[in-house]
């Protein structure tokens, strides 16, 4: 008995509450679904599982579009999407490291692409998108909905009004760190390809990416033909159609079991309630950050899932994180060049207001903030 108690304590002490923008905390019940006994991936059961997931994801993504699940992290489907869709040239609007990744993916795949970068903390404005598209040079646009490296939320609502003027352009949105935490009205906004990952606001273990695909995007994929195999959108969509939601290669069924269960939990919480919870956590964290430090993004463009904070007090972020770890919590340093110049507190997935109070009070205590 004592041995078990000691073992439990040991394991328990090693588990830290994650305030990092992915992977996020996974609910124990969801985690246990990863251990569901296997089924054949070519069975009727697999089709039903994957069809159920599709139906539930459509609710969360506010879309009637086709859904792709891929056994890869979000970057996998980003790579597949930009390669499968671009005939003339892509224009990549970056507001941080993840936005720029689209451009690198295009370049490394031999896809012609231009990059427009904003200074850290500045959003992609609709006028900028319009100015590029007016040239008629581009047939694919990528926008980051929620830039995790700078804690910025882009105005996709007003960008969608510009996109409406260009019905031949395929519009791709990276919603890796926002889907499941922020409302994305995919069909009303006319987003052609919306991409996300399992390990952020959806609060599942990493290893699965998700995309919704419009008819417009699908006809582009068909027109261009296969480009690659594993992550090729034409191949994926054809297989899903022909084989009733199955995949051309063996998918991560553990993720499917967990996702199906997590989507039930999300629907049970209430999709809108979940968004409200994220907004409340964001509002609290942003206010806290502006009281003791300063948030990085232009006011009004703060992310609802992660707050990026300028290190105005010149603290050592890594020392702070070590002290937080002793208390069983972990936050994120700045990303890339923003390391130590900024730090990030995520409020996505399963976290609630009590968790945010806990971590901010711990930081105040450690840094002796007044």
Ligand X SMILES: *Cc1c(COP(=O)(O)O)cnc(C)c1O
For ligand X, the binding residue among 148, 252, 321, 333 (CB under 6 A) is 148
174 binds ligand X per the rule CB under 6 A: yes
Q: Show the site string, 19-58: x = touches ligand X by CB under 6 A, - = not.
A: --xx------------------------------------
180 binds ligand X per the rule CB under 6 A: no
DSSP class of residue 34 equals T
Among positions 79-98, residues that touch ligand X (CB under 6 A) are: 98
Residue 74 or 205 having the CB closest to ligand X: 74
Q: Which long-range contacts does 335-339 make (Cβ < 8 Å, 24+ apart)?
A: 335/96, 335/97, 335/148, 335/149, 335/150, 336/97, 336/149, 338/120, 338/149, 338/150, 338/296, 338/308
Least gap, CB of 98 to ligand X (angstroms): 3
Number of C-beta neighbours around residue 140 at 10 A: 28
Among positions 105-144, residues that touch ligand X (CB under 6 A) are: 144
Least gap, CB of 34 to ligand X (angstroms): 17
Residue 217 or 306 having the CB closest to ligand X: 306
Residue 63 or 72 having the CB closest to ligand X: 72
Secondary element (H or E) of residue 170: strand 170-174
65 binds ligand X per the rule CB under 6 A: no
For ligand X, the binding residue among 197, 235, 295, 332 (CB under 6 A) is 197
Contact 208, 70 (CB under 8 A): yes
Q: How far is CA 137 from CA 89, 90, 169, 214, in A?
A: 7, 8, 10, 22
For ligand X, the binding residue among 65, 75, 86, 154 (CB under 6 A) is 75
Residue 63 or 149 having the CB closest to ligand X: 149
Sheet order of strands, 90-94 included: 66-70, 209-213, 193-197, 170-174, 140-144, 90-94, 113-117
Least gap, CB of 230 to ligand X (angstroms): 15
Pull the structure tokens for residue 173.
């949105």
Q: Contacts with ligand X: how many residues (CB under 6 A)?
A: 14
71 binds ligand X per the rule CB under 6 A: no
Residue 170 or 231 having the CB closest to ligand X: 231
- Whose CA is closest to 180, among 320, 300, 339, 59? 59
């Amino acid at each position: 008995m004592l041995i078990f108690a000691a073992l439990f304590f040991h394991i328990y002490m090693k588990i830290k509450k994650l305030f990092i923008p992915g992977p996020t905390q996974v609910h124990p019940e969801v985690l246990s679904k990863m251990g569901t006994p296997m089924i054949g991936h070519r069975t009727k059961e697999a089709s039903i599982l994957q069809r159920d997931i599709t139906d539930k994801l459509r609710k969360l993504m506010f879309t009637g579009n086709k859904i792709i699940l891929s056994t890869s992290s979000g970057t996998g489907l980003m790579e597949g999407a930009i390669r499968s869709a671009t005939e003339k040239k892509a224009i990549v609007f970056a507001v941080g490291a993840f936005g720029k990744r689209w451009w690198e993916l295009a370049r490394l795949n031999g896809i012609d692409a231009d990059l427009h970068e904003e200074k850290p903390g500045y959003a992609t404005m609709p006028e900028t998108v319009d100015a590029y598209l007016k040239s008629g040079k581009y047939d694919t646009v990528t926008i980051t909905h929620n830039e995790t490296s700078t804690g910025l939320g882009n105005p996709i609502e007003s960008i969608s009004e510009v996109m409406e003027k260009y019905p031949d352009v395929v519009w791709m949105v990276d919603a890796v760190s926002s889907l499941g935490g922020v409302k994305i009205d995919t069909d009303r906004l006319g987003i052609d390809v919306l991409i996300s990952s399992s390990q952020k606001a959806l609060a599942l273990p990493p290893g699965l990416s998700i995309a919704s695909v419009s008819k417009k995007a699908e006809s582009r994929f068909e027109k261009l033909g296969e480009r690659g195999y594993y992550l090729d959108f034409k191949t994926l969509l054809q297989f899903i159609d022909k084989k009733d939601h199955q995949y051309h290669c063996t998918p991560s069924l553990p993720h499917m079991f967990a996702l199906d269960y997590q989507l039930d939990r999300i629907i049970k919480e209430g999709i809108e309630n979940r968004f409200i919870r994220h907004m409340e956590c964001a509002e609290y964290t942003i206010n806290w950050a502006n009281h003791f430090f300063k948030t990085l993004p232009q006011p009004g463009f703060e992310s609802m899932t992660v707050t990026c904070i300028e290190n105005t007090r010149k603290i050592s972020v890594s020392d702070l994180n070590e002290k937080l770890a002793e208390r069983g919590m972990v936050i994120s340093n700045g990303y890339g060049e923003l390391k130590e110049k900024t730090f990030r507190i995520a409020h996505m997935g399963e976290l609630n207001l009590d968790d945010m109070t806990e971590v901010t009070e711990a930081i105040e205590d450690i840094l002796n903030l007044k």
